[in-house]
Structure 1
Amino acid sequence: MSAGGALAQPALVARVIDVVGSGGRLMPTVSLLVVVLLAASALGAFQQYLLQRTAEGVVLTTRQLLADRLLRLPVAEYDRRRTGDLMSRVGADTTLLRATVTSGVVDVAGSAVLGIGAVVAMALVDVWLLLVTLLAVGLGLTVAVLASRGVKRASRQAQEEVGAMTAAVERALSAVRTIRASGATSREVTAVGGSARRAFEAGVRVARLESLVAPAGSIAVQGAFLAVLGVGGYRVAAGSITVASLVAFILYLFLLVMPLGHAISAYTQLQTGLGALARIQEILALAPERDEQPERAGTAAPRAGAPLLELEDVSFSYPDGTPVLRGVSFEVAAGSRVALVGPSGAGKSTILALIEGFYPVSGGALRWAGTDVRELPRAALRARLGYVEQEAPVLAGSVRDNLLLTRPDATDPELWAVLADVGLTEVVRRSPRGLDVLVGDEGVLLSGGERQRLAIARSLLARPELLLLDEPTASLDARNEGLLRETLGRAAADRALLVVAHRLSTVLDSDQIVVLDQGRVVASGTHAELVDSSPLYRELATAQLLV
């Protein structure tokens, strides 16, 4: 409708000129011209609002899709990719889509409508002038298209460099205390600056290619205008067309060349947006973590006599073929307490990751209540597991936010009770905000031991059937270690525990201790049995003054 109003204006201007020449009534035509002008302007403003709103909707939908996919990718994908680059795709790349919608696809469509209408009107005025115009415009368009062919590739390279720069900044900020303490601030500033420089150079390459497009558009516009003035003046002098028709044709020419300029710019912008879109589609094309049997409503009931968890001849290798586990077998009975011990790199934490389903086993069988975990819905299985990682990650927000992560329906008394179990009550009560006290980004306002205990409290709150603990006492002092040992003892009364420990004092009273070395089970039994039968365990216990 806006384009129709714009196309009507040259005809009305020509009508005004004819009326002035013939001495007719001027006001009706002028009034109609003013009404059409105002209506076209109002419609154009409304069009821009709808366009911007649509663009924001495209960005919103894309960001939601990306966030959903990023949070559902297999854990192995996070091992291969840099966090900062993934963040850049959600932020910078999706922002480019907004410009692609506003200055790209829709502008091209709108320009096509106005351009086609202008060409039809120009044909009705004078076919010869139209041919002259199309010849000049065609030459300019050809040059512009050829100049913008490399923009898409260069734009994607620029976005890759922006992603690398974001990853470099994220890496430095996540370890800023270590960098300061190591005296490496200047080196990291140089490294980030170098990444920013590469992003700058890639952006300049895009700008160089885009700068070639503008002169092509200018040539098309100016060449067409000069040709029409020259040929049109001759045809007026020859009496082939009237002055009013020439004026109308020139106005239609402006209506053609203005959207033509927009179209050339939009084509370039579209190439830039397609580079960003390719990076977005790369992530959306990745398969999310697959639930083994999503059609099944819940995990199977335990088979009679089957252990809660069973590993039978389990092996696992990294994607590059590096073996981590070799024929690991052991069982965890319901309500029992099992410990995994051994030197660093023996594969203890990897076993917990396999139980959680972060990686598929390479060989052997991993069973829950007698059923292979590949036959169970992963979400339902994880609902029956509690997992505390070695780094004990704490999310930015409050203590309450972190606890409710596993049980959003938990009451305040339940929250205070689980905090008391891990010895955090006094820490939380120090603040007048209580459970709503902030923990800072990645729990920076808490000590290492407090973060560890908060992570354990979070898992205990979910009341899992099997609690997986990876080095639960790594950051605890002797007093809190004793308190946690008592907590784990109470927790083991109604759930099974599988604990990875370097500090053997934490697991001395375990029902079974499994000793791992170089990805194999080399011994298992109680503390007393292993001291007598396992040289490796006896060496570990002696080093910790437990023998």
Structure 2
Amino acid sequence: MAERRVQRRVGLPALLPYLREHRGTLIVVGSLSLVTAVAALVQPVLIRTVLDGISAGTSIGGAVALLVALLLTGAAIDGFRDFLLQRTAEGLVLTTRRRLARHLLRLPIAEYDTRRTGDLLSRVGADTTLLRAVVTSGLFEIVTGAVMVVGATIAMALLDPLLLGVAAAGLAVGLTVAITVSRRVRGLSEQAQARLGEMTSAVERSLSAARTIRASGAEDREAETVGRSATEAYDAGMRVARLRALIGPASTAATQGAFLLVLGVGGARVAAGAISVGDLVAFILFLFFLVLPLGQALNAYTQLQTGLGALQRIEEILDLPSETAEDRPAQAGSGSAEPAIVFENVTFGYPGGGTPVLQDVSFTVPAGSRVALVGPSGAGKSTVLALIERFYEVTSGTIRVGGTDIRDLPRDALRRRLGYVEQEAPVLAGTLRDNLLLTAPGADEARLLRALDEVNLGALATRTPDGLDVQVGEGGVLLSGGERQRLAIARTLLADAPILLLDEPTSNLDARNEAALREAIAAASFQRTLVVVAHRLSTVVDSDQIVVVEAGRVVATGPHRELLETSPLYRELATHQLLVS
């Protein structure tokens, strides 16, 4: 498992890299926002001119025409600006999802061992969606609101400083409460997103094992587990909702109080002749232009805190080093005469796993040979293949491929030399063709069909009129266990790697298909190196060398007949499998 780092607390500067590629559009949006803000602030002045003109009996046609033009132009600009904002927000979400998905696929394998798939899915889906509000209802509402507030405040101060003081006193209490509450939203929003991730994980767990759950009659118990996660997500969401619910009433009370105070005091000042009716109407309109942006800015601030909470979870993943982050430049091997693979005093333990899985393991795989790893379940055989692939780093010792320490090889260069079939033989959802092209994206149809024939799976491409485009189902559920395994092997053979690593390649095959596959593997291993993990000794008795592993240690090596004489464990395994009497 990768070393855990202290997670930094992200703030507004963390958003800048996400917004940088949209800066041209955002500059246009910002400019349009300023134009609409100025146009809005001019309107109360024009309305005062119209009212004063009516009182004085002067012409008001020009002012009315300009006022109408400003209203129509402002509406058009607002619509265009909002479209640009929505497009930018969608682009931001798209970019973030691509970046996050790319990084997730490059995390060290140890990270997948300790993190729940559903939570990672939630970060790609739900958390990135919350970033949309940062752009559409966050940053620019705050910026535009600030311009409106400053402009309206200046205009109100010029009209009547006394009324401005009255309005400010009415707004102060409500704003203080709203800002204080908004600051707490971020932490609770992070908790709510985390609970949502846990709920997604619970659902993913249940759906991925749907057949097992159904066969076990455990539907109700699993539904209760998902229900508890959903309830926790609900409770966390309600905590955020309750806080947000305080912001609205506080803002409304402050706004209504300010308007009532201004109307009362302003009416008295009009009656006293201190200001005109036009001044009072203009002041009230400016107050409206002050209060409305303040409310929008408070809501935007809350949205921003929610978005920053989501960004915190996204950055937590992006801050994790990728698997290739510490790769060294490629080092040249010692020459073609070197063994294909060498384990030299290798010890390995999973982080937090206690006793090492492998202890002081040493063996050599000559180039072009066929080597089998056998032993009881849990002996560490599959771990040997995982270490060759550099899914994990050895605790101590050295693994060499072609004479080069694999730590001196970039992982992609190393894995191009290796063809690997996992024990579970995973099949990707999609078509037969999609799965085959995974390792050989440039292969033509004839080559794909030839690979299927090599593993006795050619009939699969002629089973339906869809041919290679037949669907295999989620996880290959529309295929039998043996078909999934053979498909995984065909996919690996297409990679044409010089070293093949096969983990239990015949575990799900019947005798007929096992024999056919053994022939295919034998043909594929011509001029290649083959390392096979096997429980069925019948599949590896003709190997050039068999490595016997027990409790993480190599206890014997040699060909089949020699091991029958020299290794009690191997002889016991062979006897149980009826290879010897």
The TM-score bracket by the shorter chain reads over 0.9
**1:203 aligned residue:** 237
Could you tell me which residue of structure 1 aligns to residue 111 of structure 2?
77
Match of 2:348 among 316, 328, 331: 316
1:219 aligns with 2:250: no
Is the CA contact (8 Å cut-off) linking 1:302 and 1:308 kept in structure 2? Answer: no
Q: Residues 292 and 381 from structure 1, CA distance in 2 versus in 1: closer, same or farther, beyond 3 angstroms?
A: farther
Which residue in the other structure is 1:252 paired with? Answer: 286
Pair 339,292 (structure 1): closer, same or farther in 2 beyond 3 Å: farther
Measured against aligned partners, the alpha-carbon deviations of 1:71-99 in whole angstroms (never above 9, x if no partner) come to 11000000000000000001111111112
* Pair 1:300-2:332 in alignment: yes
Partner amino acid, structure 1, of 2:113? D
CA shift digits 1:21-60 (9 cap, x unpaired): 1111222221111001101111111121112122112211
1:393 corresponds to 2:426: yes
- The one of 482, 489, 493 equivalent to 1:449 is 482
Distance 2:57 2:328 in 1: 82
Matched letter for residue 129 of structure 2: T
Residue 302 of structure 1 deviates from its aligned partner by 4.5
Could you report, residue by residue, the CA deviation over 1:453-501 in whole angstroms, capped at 9, with x for unpaired residues?
0000000011111000000001111100000110111112121100000
Q: Does the alignment pair 1:290 with 2:324?
A: yes
Instruction: Name the structure 1 match of 2:363.
Output: 330
2:501 to 435, 447, 468: 468
1:385 and 1:467 in contact (8 A); partners too: yes
- 2:80 is matched with 46
Quote the offset at 1:136 in angstroms.
Answer: 1.9
Instruction: Kindly indicate whether residue 417 of structure 2 is the aligned counterpart of residue 384 of structure 1.
Output: yes
Q: Identify the residue that residue 300 of structure 2 maps to in structure 1.
A: 266
Deviation at 1:102, TM superposition (A): 1.6
Matched, 1:507 2:540: yes
- The answer to whether 1:112 aligns with 2:146 is yes
Selected match of 2:436 from 403, 410, 417: 403
Amino acid at match of 2:493: L
2:396 pairs with 1:360: no
8 Å CA contact retained: 2:329, 2:409: no
Q: Equivalences for 1:414-453 in 2 at 5 Å? A: 414-453=447-486
CA contact (8 A) 2:329 2:408 kept: no
Q: Determine helix, strand or coil for the equivalent of 2:171.
A: helix
Q: Deviations over 1:207-257 (max 9, x none)?
A: 111111111111221121111111111211121111101000000111111
**Correspondence for 1:413 among 442, 446, 449:** 446
Query: Which residue identity lines up with residue 458 of structure 2 in the other structure?
Result: T
* Kept in 2: contact 1:291–1:379 (CA 8 A): no
2:18 — aligned with what?
none
Pick from 12, 15, 38: which aligns with 1:4? 38
User: Are 2:432 and 2:470, in contact at CA under 8 Å, matched by a contact in 1?
Assistant: yes
Task: State the alpha-carbon separation in 2 of the partners of residues 309 and 24 from structure 1.
Answer: 98
Counterpart of 2:509, as a letter, is L
Distance in 2 separating the partners of 1:256 and 1:71: 48
TM-score (ref. length: structure 2)? 0.92
Kept in 2: contact 1:7–1:118 (CA 8 A): yes
Aligned to 1:64: 98
Cα distance, 1:417–1:165 mapped onto 2, change above 3 Å: same
Listed one character per residue, the Cα deviations across residues 110-167 of structure 1 (whole Å, up to 9, x for unaligned) are: 1111111111111221111112222222221111112223211111111111000000
Counterpart AA for 1:167: S
Mapped partners of 2:326, 2:60: distance in 1: 79
Equivalences, count:
545
Aligned AA (2:299): S
Query: Which residue number in structure 2 is paired with residue 87 of structure 1?
Result: 121
Deviation of 1:291 after TM superposition, in Å, equals 5.4
Q: Which amino acid aligns with 1:543?
A: H
Output the CA distance in 2 between the equivalents of 1:57 and 1:7: 32
Contact 1:349 1:500 (8 Å CA) reproduced = yes
| Contact kept in structure 1, 2:338 and 2:367, CA below 8 Å | no
Name the amino acid aligned to 2:318.
L
Matched with 1:486 is 519
- In structure 1, the partner of 2:549 is 516
2:383 to 350, 353, 373: 350
Q: Is the 8 A contact 2:501 2:530 kept in 1?
A: yes
Question: What is the Cα deviation at residue 322 of structure 1?
Answer: 3.1
Question: Which whole-Å CA distance do the structure 2 matches of 1:331 and 1:492 have between them?
Answer: 17
**1:150 has 2:184 as partner:** yes
CA contact (8 A) 1:156 1:276 kept: yes
Distance in 2 (alpha carbons) for counterparts of 1:137 and 1:51: 30
For 1:339-392, what per-residue CA distance to the aligned partner results, in whole angstroms no more than 9, with x for missing partners?
000001100000100000100000100001111111111101101100000000
SS where residue 77 of structure 1 aligns? helix
Q: Are the counterparts in 2 of residues 291 and 377 from structure 1 also a CA contact under 8 Å?
A: no
Post-superposition offset of 1:301: 4.0
User: Structure 2: which 5+ residue stretches go unaligned?
Assistant: 1-34
Give the secondary-structure state (helix, strand or coil) at the position aligned to 2:261.
Answer: helix
AA matched with 2:534 = A
3-state SS of 1:323 partner: coil
Query: What is the aligned partner in structure 2 of residue 536 from structure 1?
Result: 569
What letter is aligned with 1:308? A
Q: Secondary structure at the match of 2:204?
A: helix
Looking at structure 2, the residues matched to 154 and 291 of structure 1 have their Cα atoms a distance apart, in angstroms, of 33
| Structure 1 counterpart of 2:25 | none
Task: Please give the root-mean-square deviation of Cα atoms over the aligned residues, in Å.
Answer: 1.2
Write the deviation string for residues 160-197 of structure 1: whole angstroms up to 9, x where unpaired: 11000000000000000000011111111111111111
Q: Aligned equivalents of 2:80 and 2:36: distance in 1?
A: 9
SS class of match (1:148): helix
Alignment of 1:477 onto 2:507: no
Q: What SS is found at the alignment partner of 2:357?
A: strand
Of 444-453 and 258-267, more deviation after overlay is shown by 258-267
The percent of aligned pairs where both chains have the same amino acid is 62
Output the amino acid matched with 1:470: D
Unaligned residue ranges in structure 1 (runs of 5+): none
1:232 aligns with 266
The answer (yes or no) to whether the contact 1:292–1:376 under 8 Å persists in 2 is: no
AA of the residue aligned to 1:316: F
